[in-house]
Chains A and B, each alone.
Chain A
């Protein structure tokens, strides 16, 4: 309670998922600490960071869970989806296989996450123009077909990293504030119960808000 960190209007849990080596940890460190490591250690299990942003004069605290990409971990990491209201599904624009696996990750979310979770498809490493293996249009079309937001980012040169997180958090905020679910985190300091009280939007509303979020 005592620290400034606790002063927020909303607390949203967001998970970062996607294949190993696509840059999930660097997206997280770029967004929360403005740091980037060309060779950052592989994530084991889950790593965790937070950052607060302002939307509509409200303080939104993002609790971001960075998960390990390797298949073997999924049996355990699926437990981390509990209570998540948003997911950044990341692939590497220079590695087509990581894009092909997006479908598997979507299935994974359908199986383990809340059915109303807001999902954004993120093509990372957009700085690797000369190595591009996934055309932007193809990914954007795929995202539209699947009702996902879409953005391309570069954690290395910072392009669109802020936007990606801002867009998904704003989208969640809109859904939540329209629903006017009880939103007083001060009543209950436990984050797990906070995030679980937020019921994410009915489907019609969700489809509507998706479109405006693509960049």
Chain B
């Protein structure tokens, strides 16, 4: 964030001219006038702090302002553009928003100084006292990015013509999921890039639009399905500081997601090669907080020719408390006065932004230095006016003509995207619901909007309510695979498999690559005993995506359930080219090989699992790895037991408990082994461990005694019960077994147990 400039304002006597005579000089009562501002003392600090980010060699400004000759030659120009607010480019009214990050506005005192200096002939002052400016480099401001995405080729912008909105769809080379904590855009010294919007598209839509449009990128102001995850609004305008996420709101990028860069380009008079770069900075921290973008948009715009103040107003009520992090107002050429504010339930007004002289060519997103907290029930208001008169110097038409709403820049638009930070992640579906209902109520009855409403209700587990919006979405877009899948999911939850199955089938017909739908459908078939159909659905999926492990494991499982061990073996073996290093495949393969009497190969698989790790996002998922390794160790212990290799059994059980201290069967078996080896003191901690498991996992008394030698097993179990604070249960247990022993004619055991009872 830029430090606010402190301008030294001198107390300078104002000399009034009356009839050509200088009063001060005439009367002679004033102290000798202090000299006016000069470059070295007054002007250089302002220029160096506020202008040379862009106006430097290699910068995006058209000329450099890094020394006195360059600045003084343009003194008159500079004075004029700072006075009328054209430079530095900064449109918001500073008194009608929270403090904004990267505020480029000049304080009025600085403007006065520049104007005064230019009028006085731009004096140099003592240049020898002036340190040269620290000129920013063209490098990444946030340091070298973790991933740099370059354009595959430069985009050729024609020398002249209208401004262009060009969307570039760039592959992100990601092998695994990553979390993005910052993003930097380097325009690469291009004067023609006025504004960039950065978005991501996990769907193929942007690629398809790109392919349908000749040349690099596609031309549109509508970014379609491209958006930014977790409610971020990421843009770039000249001089804007790079985007860093609010702490805890890193956003997820999954492999296959495309970067979509929308550039607003203004021809420069010569053909330009545009090739900016985007740097991504990753974090190991998944997001802990949720963000959301509230979109307010006027859907009905119809501005008569000559109308100089056509108003629009939109309201969106926050269903939950939220904090505003930033916003992106948007209108086209006729936008004039843009006001965005919040009205909390207490009736006050909190300004979010006021742009009194909207300029389409200097549109930008804005971020607040600190989040603005708003309570639930706050009304977000967008109130804009449009000027379609001949007096509007930006009116594309002269004489003016009637203008209506639309996506072309010659149509009009009025919207604002407001970036919200939620206090609780569970608030997200409430906001999604409110947003979808707002859009539907204001006329945006599209398949996507109905789908979003269905999804928001679905996420709140309001399943019956979600049915109608999903059905509306499908009425408008019958092959919307996500809507078909989700509606199927709702019927499945409502125990109406007969309705769910055809919906899943339609979803797969629309998008055969949907693994989730395939798993859902196969699961329903399997549950109904339609094993062959389940296997077929999964097999078709694997034919399309042989690298899909969940599909492969599900198919093997379905084959095992159908008692087709040989088929499951083939299924799993065919996965080796992709998943040789994946412990999940190797574990199941090892087990199925054992079932198929391939003992050595199966043993080798299980041994391999104990050295393999499960990777998530490129790093070891310790919990999941330990889970599967524990299972492998236990399976190896069972195999050793079959071979009657007691030391190996002991070793493997110890390995298992080292990674999974609460593995129930390993605890049980370890206790049994200790008793066989006549080491009851070793058995007791295992039994204690079993007693400390959650109630539903605790073994029954019969289970425990079943693997223990009698009567010593009774003794150690009673000791374990006593050790876990269940003395009464232990005494009752011993008394009962003593009585039983006497009944069965074994008084010596009865005596023994009664002696243990006394010892307790």
State yes or no: do A and B come from one complex: no
* B interface residue numbers (CB < 8 A to A): none
